[in-house]
Structure 1
């Protein structure tokens, strides 16, 4: 089975009747897809997503690129495996019409926290075709919760996409801010007092609202703003 056939097979439900491979195992255990994903996540956790290249991953696995490509088609395939692994760790609640808003909010928060554990990994979730079974399981679960809450199917479908897009974008921005903060010249981006000073120092005639409401513009932590944005979208669905 070539790499593309392996990738296609991963997108199919497991066959409980499939037998075990009768061929004898080699003395040395071969590389597995799970090992590839485990190692890739280790690289991201310590060095960030931008450091993860196929060459870097092959080196971390102490193997050659040819062995790696025997299991992963390309970087896009690896991205799909990474996000699928994170989705596999998410436990989804049984849809409850009485608490559907809290259920959706909780899922978004847990996805956010997963992404933040692996700096920049949310980039892998952007512009991804949803074909991985675990990724689809999360989308299916979110869709079921919204439908149980009385949201119309079209609005529910677009809302799942919008919520996941916002979560990924929020986490990507957080990773970029973290990178910039590592340089002394960019440390001010995390300093609310400095940002407040810059906004209030603007000419009031040209920026009357910004200068007057600089405190509100700079208020809150990143997660408080995240909760606000997610709740805004969810509450909007309820009103529809």
Structure 2
């Protein structure tokens, strides 16, 4: 009986000196969830962690586990969380995690062609997994309304920031109003745009009277402003 109790005591003592895998995984998932919530406001987030090799034994971390994000890491999709123990027997383990974040994002409600200027009726919201949207997404239709598509999209397709541009307010060959401003005085004249442009872009224009080619900033529909 005494020998049996002694063996049991040694077994329990040995087990107490090993960090439970469950505690490591819980720390990794908790950290990933907290980080994802910080950057993905409003998203429905789920986190899972890959099991740790059952043959791996690590000293118990009496000072508590410290979780961290490896340099260059991201907290969405397939990611990695570092778990560090800074106690008398320090160690570091990298735990693979999978972070799923779903959020309502802007989509096209019907097929749209390149160059189309978007209206609210052509846009909707649909829930998507953000890990598959590496090129970004929009969360409000107002972020896309009035913008111009740089590529065609299909019905239900996510509208991403890189697909949008400011609408053209001046078109090449168009007759435009040239507004020359200097010393608080504005003088208007007519000209022909030599290139297309959106608000704020520099465009060359030929003055219809002098035939002089000047460069100005697109300030509105059919208007080029030249500040002296």
TM-score range, shorter chain: under 0.3
TM-score after normalising by structure 2: 0.25
Q: Which has the higher contact order (CA 8 A, sep 6+)?
A: 1
- Greater radius of gyration (CA): 2
Between structures 1 and 2, the one with greater strand share: 2
TM-score after normalising by structure 1: 0.24
